[in-house]
Each structure stands twice: as structure tokens, then as C-alpha cells.
Amino acid sequence: MRILITGGAGFIGSAVVRRLMEYTSAYVANIDKLTYSGNIDSLACVSSSERYQLHQIDICDAAALDRVFSTFNPTHVMHLAAESHVDRSIDGPAEFIQTNIVGTYTLLEAARRYWHGLNPEDKDLFRFHHISTDEVYGDLGGTEGLFTESTSYAPSSPYSASKASSDHLVRAWQRTYGLPTLITNCSNNYGPYHFPEKLIPHMILNALAGKPLPVYGDGAQIRDWLYVEDHARALVEVATNGAVGETYNIGGHNEKRNLEVVETICSLLEELAPEKPEGVVHYCDLITFVKDRPGHDARYAIDATKIERELGWVPMENFESGMRKTVQWYLKNRSWWQRVLSGDYQLGRLGDKP
């Protein structure tokens, strides 16, 4: 296999790259613009491998994409590159429209040009796997019901609307042009190498620094939490064994209120990091409720029975085991997140590595 991954220096993308390099013999070409959320430190363990290459490219750059397709000759494309932070999409939606919609279109066209030039056997083997989010489905509300692969789209934020648009483009390219595509929609991910602006790492690092732990509204919003390494395993399974034209929902079977998540982090830190910052008696005392964000969905929850039934995937981590591993990782890997907080992780980016 020769797998072209977009966004492979991001949180989920780097987990996929690490899994491919450790558990398969695949060659991997990583296309990443290396914006603020792309971190090559997350790929230090694979960067010297002859099976891995990094190309610092914007997925909106059609000519650059064509060059990588023609020189790398991928058998699979796994498209993870995206702007993904809801708060940032509210403050500045234009970048989300450009990357998530225009970028996906540009990548689809590059893949289609490349695919059309393949011989019949290679054409049959080629796959384009688009990785999306459960946020395209909108707000479940209440405590009943689950998102299935046939749930109607009802995105609430500029971020989720842009991802919904990209999903529609991928389906259209499969239906209209015959490009062999697959789509996955996942629930909230967490785990090692998560950029500190996201909920779980933000709370861990704020608590360790004795800073407030800001919780939107009353913290009653419910999310289904998926350990990132379980997700990476599912994505590789779909890319290599999923059926063309199909959509697979990937969830962790771990519905938790946001406040529960923060309280779990505080409890784990009481055990694993008992020496607290000056002035902090209990980590949970740092919890602070702040004004809710606009259009905040009340509940997401994934029905992942299809991928279990058809591909045999089930998550290996439950919320308790995954969260313990996550907190332990941040305690043991301070240099990784300290370089992110200082901005040093952005220094010395060299572009293409042949």
C-alpha cells in the first residue's frame, strides 16, 4: 500500500500515520500545510523512516497536489486535513470555507485526474477515504436516539456546515464521476498529542498550572468520546476494507456530560499529580462556568453498529481507561506540550522531505 494522508501532522492524522508505520508495511506520504495545529513533533518516531515522507503543501494548491500524486503514486488517499475548532469557526468562518470546502474539492479533482490515468487493475484498487465528524448531523437533543449513517444533516456551526459540504462533495464525486470514495463520521476524539486548545488537554494543562477550568454554560452538553488510537485503527480498517460508496459512523460508546469530563480529569489529577500548584486545594475548585457559545449543540451520540457488523471494529478503550492513559501521557510528555505552549514547535519547518 502507498497511502497519501492529508493533515497527517494533526491530532488524528498523526495517530493514523503512527499506526500505519508501526503495524503495516505501507509507504506514507503526508501532505500538511503545517498551520498552527500541525505539529511534526507528533511524528518524531517515524520521521526518519524510508517509508515516510512529508510535503508541506496547502490542499488548495492543485499543482502541488498533482506533483505528489504523480511522484508518490498512491493506492489510497486518507483525507483528514481540515480546520476543526468550532470556536475559531465562529470568530473567522472564511478559513473553514476555504480549507474544508475548496480544499476538499481541489483534492477530489487531483485524485480524479490521477485515478483516470491508472491502468484498470490499479483503478479498481484505488480508494479515496474522507474523514468527517458527527457534528454534521447537528443536535440530537434529549437523551434518546443515536446518529446513524442515514441521519439527515443539520449542521449548527460554520465548522460543521463546512464539513457537511465536504461530505456532499465526496458523495457527488463518487456518484457522478465514479471515484471510489468512502466516508467516516466520528465522535469527539481525545488522547495523546491533542492540541491544547481542545477541551481535554486544555483542562489538563490549566489544572496543572492552577488556572481556571472554563466550562461552557452549565456543562450539561453531552458528547460521545472516542480514544484517538481506537479511531486510527478504525480508519485504517475502513480505508483498506470498507465498501466503496459507503459511510461508516465511528463512536466510542462513551456518552459524557462536559462537566463529567472535567470532573474526571480533576479526579485523575488528584491521584496522578497530587502536588498541586500553589493555592490549589482541590483541582475541582478551579472549575468555572462561563457564558455558553452561540449555537452550542446539546448532545451528540454515535450508533457504531455498522462498522462493528461489517468490519469487526470495536473500541478497545472505555472512557475510564482512555482518560487515565491520556492524563498519564500529558504528565509524562511535558516537553511536547511545553513546546506547543511556547510556540517553539513551529520553528525549523523545512517543507518537503524527499
Residues that are catalytic: 134-135, 159
Angle (CA) 215-219-225 rounded to 5° is 95
Strand partners, 213: 287
CA 50 to CA 320: how far, in whole Å?
37
Sorted by sequence, the CB contacts under 8 Å of residue 36 that are 6+ apart come out as 346
Cα–Cα separations (whole angstroms), residue 179 to 127, 129, 132, 155: 8, 11, 18, 26
The Cα–Cα gap between 25 and 31 comes to: 19
CB-based burial of residue 139 (10 Å sphere; 0-12 exposed, 13-18 middle, 19+ buried)? Answer: middle
**If 0-12 CB within 10 Å is exposed, 13-18 middle and 19+ buried, where does residue 310 land?**
middle
Picking from 262, 279, 275, 259, the residue whose alpha carbon sits closest to that of residue 203 is 262
Q: Cell numbers at residue 39, please?
A: 505539529
- Interacting residues of 343 by C-beta distance below 8 A, sequence separation 6+: none
